[in-house]
Chains A and B, each alone.
Chain A
Amino acid sequence: MRGANLSPRFWVASTMILLLVLAAVFGPMVVATDPNQVIGGLYDRPSGERLALYLGTDNEGQSVLANLVHGLRTSLLVGLLAGAIATLIGLVLGLVAGFQGGWVDDVISAITNIALSIPTIVVIILLGVALGSRSSVALAVIIGVTAWPWLARAVRAQASSIRVREHIEVARLSGARWVSILGWDVLPYLLSYVVMAFVLQCSGAILAEATLSLLGLGPSGSTSIGTMLYWAQVWGSVRVGALWAFLPPTIVLTLISFSLLLLNSAGDELFNPRLRKGRRRGRGTAGAARGRRAPTPTPVAPETPTPGLAASTAVDLPVSPKGASR
């Protein structure tokens, strides 16, 4: 039923993401040029001579196109890896805290709240500075281990509201171990939320990588969208008007960010039908909106458990990080 309900927004976003992934996977093979190889002079204009020159050359005479596809690959990988790390940490901590309650919850929540109140950018910069030379993997790890707190908090709130539901009680009484309860009875309710959060985490990580690179803390020895922007910026390509050097990474980064956010908002709408139409048809059919409590979309509101959510709408919170890390 839901499958039929996917909005055009979802398809547009998915298509854009698919194209970006395809470019990252096959682009380097098609262009077949080493991004570090000097194939021309300083800021050669784009020419149709050969594929590698379609977007001209950068400040070191390297192919912009080759750099772009390799950089896209690096950026997406960093995003995926960091997003996965952050989602995993946030999910596990949030689940355990929300589901166990008691002192475990207290400890994890305190850590989460402290981590939430220290700006992510600060930790990333410090870690970046401390690690003299940074591989892109190390960068992804840095970004991943700093981005989990908001997710942990959101998951915790939801897990603790699911905990008091009857079917969990049944599972507990039937002697299931808590790990298996978490996996089989709690996690499924959170899945749509976690997937959407993962999308946001990836997008956040890609942007964080770019921010770090622009500050001069990018991956050493490999090209990413961020490092391309860094070089374009440092060598003043904007000022000399070499738009082929700075425009491609700018556009690609915007596209990544836009498509992931669009995907997230389409998913939000899907799992959260009230957002769909604004005022006009907000309430759905007779029974649909009834018996469901208005979720509190605000992170500052007290986290009251919402025991009465209809099972199918377990996850009603809009996915939004408290302070997006950019």
Chain B
Amino acid sequence: MQFARYLLRRTLWLLVTFVAAMVLVFLLIRLVPGNPVDAIVAQMTRGGGGSGEQVRAIYDNYMREFGLDLPLWQQFLVFCQNVLQGDFGTSFAQYPAPVTAMIGQALPWSIAIQLPAIVVGWLVGNVVGAVAAFRGGWFDKGAFLTSIFATSVPYYCLAIILLFVVAVRMQILPAGGGYSFGLSPELTLTFFGDAITYFWLPFWSLVIVFIGGQAVGMRSMAIYELGSDYVNYARGLGIGDNRITRYIFRNAMLPQLSGLALSIGGMIGGALITELVFNYPGLGTLLFTAISSNDYPVIQAIVLLITIAVLLANFLVDVVNGLIDPRIRAAETGDR
């Protein structure tokens, strides 16, 4: 009962934030000076391509798609409807490619480097942080400083340096792209074996930074828990260290697990630049191209995708936390 109420509140909250995000994206895209369609059509015809007839057709298509002839609130409804149907419109720069298809091509690449990096980094980072907190002494000192450094290195700086050292100087791994020229993405061993060589560098550049961040977080969390009253009391009752470590772990893990889920939710927007550095065919590269060619539908779609993923992750984390942690449920619904 209590949980049902909690779930309802979180769902309402998800809807509110979703609408807020939609409004924000909608308005900001329309902040672009002038009528975006005029700008785009002008840009497309500048190259000299296309007859008057074609331009007319393109123009009409965009007017319809944006609903620019409608009042603003109707435009917003059209926009919402399209998004909910997964229809992000047509690319300006690669007319008439549907944005959804372009994103569908890029997204797997982004997930392929991000997801493993996040999971591995999270696991290793938490172990390092916990061990540092429990062992203390020189290990703690060393691990903490290293972690602080690792997490403070901007991830793209590490990417640049790795690229230079490993790919350019030592020439151990390929310097960029997602797979070798001449191959095409398919589910075969050949392709996989080839793509994995392109995978390592972006992967490592992300993992190292992520380990650092997780370790720092886990360490301070565990230290807080170690000094808490319940640890003292459990010791005073003769409960063994292993058991107490479990208590600590459970309490320290809760926020860390949420952190993992949030990172996964944020992964799409989390490492855009890494892909740029390695010329990796994911969303980051797509976004970069879109920005440089003023391809607003693509920008808008990527931005929305990032937002939706984050909102959903937040939602799931809240729900799961409410399931696991009785305090949160109680605090939220005001029950004792």
Mark interface residues in A108-149 (1 if CB within 8 Å of B CB, else 0): 000001100111011101110111100000000000000000
Q: Does B98 contact A (CB under 8 A)?
A: no
Binding-face segment, A38-46, A66-74, A165-173, A293-301: A293-301
Mark interface residues in A247-264 (1 if CB within 8 Å of B CB, else 0): 100110110011011100
A258 partner residues in chain B, CB cutoff 8 A: 148-149, 152-153
Q: Residues on B close to A: CB < 8 A?
A: 13, 16-17, 20-21, 24-25, 28-29, 31-33, 132-137, 140, 148-149, 151-157, 160-161, 163-164, 168-169, 175-176, 216-217, 219-221, 223-229, 254-255, 258, 262, 266, 269, 272-273, 276-277, 287-288, 291-292, 296, 299, 303, 306-307, 310-311, 314, 317, 321, 325, 327-328, 330-332
Assembled-state Cα–Cα distance A117/B258 (Å):
14
Question: Is B137 a contact partner of A241 (Cβ separation < 8 A)?
Answer: no
Name A200-245 residues within 8 Å CB distance of B.
Answer: 207, 210-211, 214-217, 229, 232-233, 238-239, 241, 243
A-B pairs with beta carbons under 8 A, tally: 192
A117 partner residues in chain B, CB cutoff 8 A: 17, 21, 310-311, 314
CB distance from A274 to the nearest CB of B (A): 5
Most buried by A among B21, B29, B296: B21
Most buried by B among A132, A260, A295: A132
Contact of B220 among A216, A229, A275 (CB under 8 A): A275
**Interface size counted on chain A using CB atoms at 8 A:** 64
Name A255-279 residues within 8 Å CB distance of B.
Answer: 257-258, 260-262, 265, 274-275, 277-279
Residue of A nearest to B155 (CB): A326
Residue of B nearest to A303 (CB): B331
CB distance from B102 to the nearest CB of A (A): 17
Residue of B nearest to A232 (CB): B160
Q: Does A313 contact B (CB under 8 A)?
A: no
Residue of B nearest to A294 (CB): B228
A278-B157 contact in complex given A129-B291, A238-B163, C-beta closer than 8 Å: no
Q: Is the interface of A mostly helix, strand, loop or mixed?
A: helix
Question: Is B224 a contact partner of A210 (Cβ separation < 8 A)?
Answer: no
Question: Is B272 a contact partner of A282 (Cβ separation < 8 A)?
Answer: no
Q: Does A94 contact B (CB under 8 A)?
A: no
Assembled-state Cα–Cα distance A132/B163 (Å):
32
